[in-house]
Structure 1
Amino acid sequence: MQVKPFVVDIPASSIADLHLRLDITRWPEREPVGDWSQGTPLAALQDLAGYWRNGYDWYACQALLNGWGMFETEIDGLAIRFLHVRSAHESARPLLLTHGWPGSILEFRRCIAPLTDPLAHGGTADDAFHLVIPCLPGYGFSGKPTVTGWSVQKIASVWGELMARLGYDQWLAQGGDWGAAVTTAIAAMKVEGCIGVHLNMPIARPLPEDLAAPEPGELKALSALQHYQDWDSGYSKQQATRPQTVGYSLVDSPIGLAGWIYEKMWAWTDNDGAPEDALSRDDILDNVMLYWLTAAGASSARLYWESFGSFGPAQIDIPVAASIFPKEIIPAPRRWFERNCSQLVHWGELEKGGHFAAWEQPEAFVKELRTAFSLMR
């Protein structure tokens, strides 16, 4: 039941090992196309790797994490490590934020200050939150499950225990990607204490009548879903069926890991042709490092094996809000989603942003959360 501080302290030897592996990389030949259609281009990854080796500073990120304050506790035999950033406002409400793959707790890096200190960021005291941002099991600094069964429903239950241990008897929850699946499970299971949720990737599926007479927005969603199925879902099939096999290269090769993740930074962000149009190079590498330094390539992939087959809509009977960013990879039109919600209190449609909403568009994301959760008092 103990909750104690956790200090991120990566030794210099780990950085030296990374540099050596980068130095001795055996590169493949250049792809025979002039774009990203065969995956991460050689020139783009070599350029990123050059900066990773010679310009990037991990310890700036480490200082950031420790400055916010990380903690740890053990639940069901697994170490759960998380950011816990409390607001100075007495009226602040607890808010649980859950990341996805291939993201991390760093997705929320530019939302932490506005959510905990709203007066300094265009808000009011009523917009203040105490933030709990855990690393998913097998991700980042959390422990790696050694037995099966760590599904999104299991994680939802564990998150409820985590919030209870922190003394929060009523709290809100938010998530995208796997975070959306976990947050949906929290709502569907009516995990004790949760009084409302927000999703930036609401989960829904069309019915036969939708397919027979789709509306314009639904046609766009169906086209995006088909593109994902045909061209963008190979990673999920591999991780859902053989996570251990792909895990060897992801844990052993920093270039293999970076290529695996960097491509999703291109495919899933609202950019003009390059990932760096949406996310800074340091942000991208900070995120990659949370997988590399913790050797989480295989353990994070196993969540797909556990739960990807059950990644689907569920009935939500507590207040729920959704924010739709235009470059979301698996869009869900309102008509599809609200069938499973008895209390949909907010539906926001944004002008810019992709799958990593909080990371790409922190100001818009914070505004959406303030609006949504103001309707759940």
Structure 2
Amino acid sequence: MSDKTLNYADAGVDIDKTNKAIKSLSPLIETTFSQALLNPLGGFAALYDLKAIMANYAEPVLVQSVDGLGTKTIIARLMQQYHQLGYDLVAATANDILVYGAKPLSLLDYVASDALEPETLKELLQGMIAACKQSKIALIGGETAEMPGIYRRGEYDVVGMITGVVDKAKIIQGSTIQPGDAVFAFASSGLHSNGYSLARHLLFHKHLFKLDAYRDDLGQTLGEALLEPHLNYTEPVLSMLEQGIIIKGMAHISGGGIIDNLPRVLPDHCAIEINKHRYPNLPLFSFLQSLAPIAEQELYRTFNMGIGYVLIGAQQELSNAAAYLTKHESTYKLYYIGHVVEGKKEVHLCA
């Protein structure tokens, strides 16, 4: 019998290696902090002072959501590009609470793998830090987990939990939506963070495409197209709300596409008609659609199909919103894509 004593690293979990990687980035992480954070990194939990929030909101309501990046992380591993995933995580979570009109405050992250590689972890965190600073979100803590036997070799699971705030009187829930209201949308940049399992099945199982192959129809390599960043719509939407533009309902087009996400904000007596030709037709979706016969309903339920975020309201209000963005030279553009009709919380796709 060997006299060598065993440690956790022998079982595949190297705590020191992970802690060292996180500690090296602690000064950068703390640049996302505001005076509301009362304790440094490394505690059992983050302490967040609500006094400043109470001063700016009549009846502050905390809004929380959790989301992950699914199998987009597999594409990142194959491309060895993880930085962008940090931006994706911030956008995916911030857009979810934005639906209620909430301003993001803080983010907690969860990163797990069979064995965490320090450089990969650093790259992920650097992306999160940059995205958090861009949106004035405090990266207040997180969890890293090495679980050999649970995850495949080299695969990562990336999840975030976001907290935001909105005044109770200004919560947007779609209750005033009525037939005749207009539906406007921001375009997506690509798959964002959803539909990757079907995309990978089409590209790498039904066919044998290479990630590094340049495609004229996409104007970039396939890998670059698949890793296009998940757009964060927080800045333009909060800016419009601050200008007094009345938005009755909003939807982040994530998992479930427009088919499942739009009904979540509709009153029971309403449905939506979407004109498929009133917003940009991204080449990636046309390409994926050409690879195998897929029912239209399934396409629009799996992929965002070019629609990233939807706003519902009176025609004039949302036309004013579109004009406001144009006037202020925003990089975001609103498209008038449809209208609300009588119905039962469903989406109709029109030519």
TM-score band w.r.t. shorter chain: under 0.3
Q: Give the TM-score taking structure 2 as reference length.
A: 0.25
Structure with more relative contact order (C-alpha pairs < 8 Å, separation 6 or more): 2
Q: Give the TM-score taking structure 1 as reference length.
A: 0.24
Higher helix share: 1
Higher strand share: 2
Which protein is bigger by CA-based radius of gyration? 2
